Amino acid sequence: MDTLRRPLIAGNWKMNLDHLQSIAFVQKLAWALKDANYQANEVEIGVFPPFTDLRSVQTLINADSLPFALGAQDLSMHDEGAHTGDISGAFLRALECEYVITGHSERRADHGETDEVVAAKTHAAIKHALVPIICVGESAEDLELHGASKVPCDQLRVVLASLAPTDTYVVAYEPIWAIGSGQAATSSQAQDVARALRDVIRELHGDSAADSTRILYGGSVKSGNIAGFMKKDDVDGALVGGASLSVDEFSAIARFPQHVTLDQEN
Ligand code: 13P
């Protein structure tokens, strides 16, 4: 974590919590963080509910001035028109979403999204004034064949080619083998790939983009391992799946600066 980059703790709820459950969850999360004296200027928190919850969560965030950024889990590469079931970035922006996830490995696997599709969606996000969180990551097989950095760096290159150096984006390194497995990467593995991804940004978009872009780690992040990741120079936050569905866990992750374990390696 570099002090120039404000850490981002993003909760990707995936296909969990309906709109009623989302309201109860966000209220409880806000209370838990307030009780724990969460400092919004130190750490940014983002919530990424399913599409059907976005309006409810947006209304709650606005009504109670909650310190949460809102994001969506996907968007269409198209602006509007005959694309049944798809959601335009323009609609997300109208709901005051700030972020949108692109290229999550579950969308690549479930919907056959190629690097080119991810690049088009990421371009659409920027066009609609959303900050894309570009997900990259290798499978267990890739790891064995090529090492950890090659596949994520290749994926990122394709997406960055569709963006301008001045565009604002976030990159999330999510090794597929670590997602939902309970077996997170070590903090050193995460740091090595985050550094390699930052080098790709530097090569394609220059020093200013490389120094200001936040790179997150995702894959079995919990309150017990977040401090180790955040100690690393090139890791600027986390994209959290399962643990983002627990108020206690997610609020503890977001309060990582207070963890007594900050000095421990994991
Ligand atoms: P888990 O935290 O459940 O491993 O999921 C990570 C993830 O895919 C976040 O996008």
The number of the ligand 1 atom at minimal distance from the alpha carbon of 14 is 10
* Secondary structure (3-state) at 238: strand
Q: pLDDT value at position 142?
A: 97
Give domain status of residue 156, yes or no. yes
How far, in Å, from the CA of 222 to the mean position of ligand 1?
10
Higher pLDDT, 261 or 114: 114
pLDDT at 266 over 50: no
* Secondary structure (3-state) at 132: strand
Q: pLDDT value at position 263?
A: 46
Q: pLDDT value at position 164?
A: 98
pTM for this entry: 0.96
Give domain status of residue 264, yes or no. no
Cα–Cα dist 98/190, whole Å: 26
pLDDT at 106 over 80: yes
pLDDT mean over 65-94: 98
Share of the chain above pLDDT 70, in %: 97
How far, in Å, from the CA of 55 to the mean position of ligand 1?
23
Lowest mean pLDDT among 17-31, 32-46, 145-159, 202-216: 32-46
CB atoms within 10 A of CB 248: 12
The string of DSSP letters for 166-201 reads T---EEEE--GGGTTTS-PPPHHHHHHHHHHHHHHH
To test ligand 1's pocket by mutation, which of 47, 100, 133, 240 has the most ligand atoms within 8 angstroms of CB?
A: 240
pLDDT mean over 66-94: 98
Q: Which domain holds residue 22?
A: 8-258
The pLDDT-based confidence of 265 (bands split at 50, 70, 90) is very low
pLDDT mean over 85-89: 98
Give me the active site residues, please: 104, 174
Give domain status of residue 176, yes or no. yes
Q: What is the CATH number of the domain that holds 212?
A: 3.20.20.70
To the nearest whole number, what is the mean pLDDT of the chain?
A: 95
How far, in Å, from the CA of 184 to the mean position of ligand 1?
10
pLDDT at 151 over 60: yes
The pLDDT-based confidence of 233 (bands split at 50, 70, 90) is very high
The number of the ligand 1 atom at minimal distance from the alpha carbon of 172 is 10
Give domain status of residue 266, yes or no. no
How far, in Å, from the CA of 239 to the mean position of ligand 1?
7
pLDDT tens digits, 172-191? 999 999 999 999 999 999 99
How far, in Å, from the CA of 178 to the mean position of ligand 1?
8
Give domain status of residue 137, yes or no. yes
> Measuring from each residue's beta carbon to the nearest atom of ligand 1, which residues come in under 6 Å?
12, 104, 174, 179-180, 218-221, 239-243
Cα–Cα dist 64/69, whole Å: 13
To test ligand 1's pocket by mutation, which of 14, 101, 135, 139 has the most ligand atoms within 8 angstroms of CB?
A: 14
Give domain status of residue 60, yes or no. yes
To test ligand 1's pocket by mutation, which of 104, 110, 135, 239 has the most ligand atoms within 8 angstroms of CB?
A: 239
Cα–Cα dist 233/2, whole Å: 6
The pLDDT-based confidence of 89 (bands split at 50, 70, 90) is very high
Q: pLDDT value at position 41?
A: 87
Number of domains composing the chain: 1
Give domain status of residue 123, yes or no. yes
Q: pLDDT value at position 260?
A: 44
Give domain status of residue 120, yes or no. yes
Q: pLDDT value at position 84?
A: 98
CB atoms within 10 A of CB 230: 22
The number of the ligand 1 atom at minimal distance from the alpha carbon of 222 is 2
pLDDT tens digits, 28-77? 999 999 988 888 889 999 999 999 999 999 999 999 999 999 999 999 99
Residue with CA nearest ligand 1 atom 7 = 241
The pLDDT-based confidence of 258 (bands split at 50, 70, 90) is confident
Residue with CA nearest ligand 1 atom 1 = 241
